[in-house]
Structure 1
Amino acid sequence: MKSSLAILAGAVALLSAAALPAPADAAIKCQGPNQVNPYGLIRTPYCEDNYLAYVAKHYHGMYVSAKAIRHNPNYKEEICRVIGHDIRVNDICIGFRP
C-alpha cells in the first residue's frame, strides 16, 4: 500500500511540474548599441558598453570585458581614448575624448 501511494505521489508531482509555465527569459537582448524591446530599439548604456567592448575586442584586438567597462568609468575612458575615433563608437565615446 505504501509503495503504490509513493508511486502515485511521484506521478502527481511529475504531472504538476510539467503543467507549470516555463520561466520567463529575462536576459537583456542587444542589437549593436541598442536594446531590443517589443516596441523597437532603445539606446541604453548597458548595450552601448557591450558594443564598445565588442568593437574593442573584434576590430582592435584589445582584451576588454563589458563588465569592466560598466563598473569602471576610468577604464571606459581609456578604451575611448584608444578607439574613440572609430565611427561605430564615436557617439558612445563623445564625452570621454579630448
Structure 2
Amino acid sequence: MAKKHSAAISLAAAGLAVTMVQPASAAIKCSNGFQLVDGAMLSTPYCRDNLVAAVARQYGFNAPDAKVRNNPNFKRHVCRFVGQDIRIKEACDEVNPNGRGRF
C-alpha cells in the first residue's frame, strides 16, 4: 500500500512540475518592433525597445534588451546616438522628443 501511495505522490509531483513550466509557444514573439498578438502584428513598447537594443548593437553599443526596456535613461542615451536610424526613429522619439513646440 505504501508503494502505491508513494508512486501516486511522485506522479502528482511530476504532473505539477510539467504544468508549472511554460511552453515555448508562450514566449513573446517580436519582429521589427511588432509583437504577434492573436495572429496580428501589433506595435508594442516591449518589441520596440527590443528593436532599439538590436539596432544599437549593430552600431557597436553594448545594449542588452532588458536594459533598454527597464532603464529609460539608458534608452535615451542610446537613442541620442542612433535614434535617427529610420528603423527606430519613432521608438526613440518617445524618449527624445525633438521638433518645434513644447515638450
What's the TM-score, normalizing by structure 1? 0.73
Is 1:11 paired with 2:7? yes
Superposed displacement of residue 48, structure 1? 0.8
Structure 1 portions without partners, runs of 5+: none
Is 1:22 paired with 2:19? yes
Question: Which SS does the other structure have where 2:42 is aligned?
Answer: strand
Matched AA of 1:94 = D
Deviations 1:40-88 (A, max 9, x none): 111111111111111111x111101222222322221111111112121
Question: Which SS does the other structure have where 2:36 is aligned?
Answer: strand
Judge which range, 64-73 or 77-86, deviates more. 64-73
Q: Percent identity?
A: 37
Q: Distance in 2 between matches of 1:18 and 1:73?
A: 41
Judge which range, 21-30 or 37-46, deviates more. 21-30
Superposed displacement of residue 19, structure 1? 5.5
Q: Distance in 2 between matches of 1:45 and 1:16?
A: 39
Work out which of the two has the higher radius of gyration on C-alpha atoms and give 1 or 2.
1
Contact 1:77–1:97 (8 Å) recurs in 2: no
Superposed displacement of residue 38, structure 1? 1.9
Structure 2 portions without partners, runs of 5+: 99-103
Question: Which SS does the other structure have where 1:91 is aligned?
Answer: helix
Q: Distance in 2 between matches of 1:62 and 1:81?
A: 12
More helix by share: 2
Residues 10 and 32 (structure 1 numbering): CA distance in 2 closer, same or farther, change over 3 Å? farther
* Residue-pair matches, total: 93
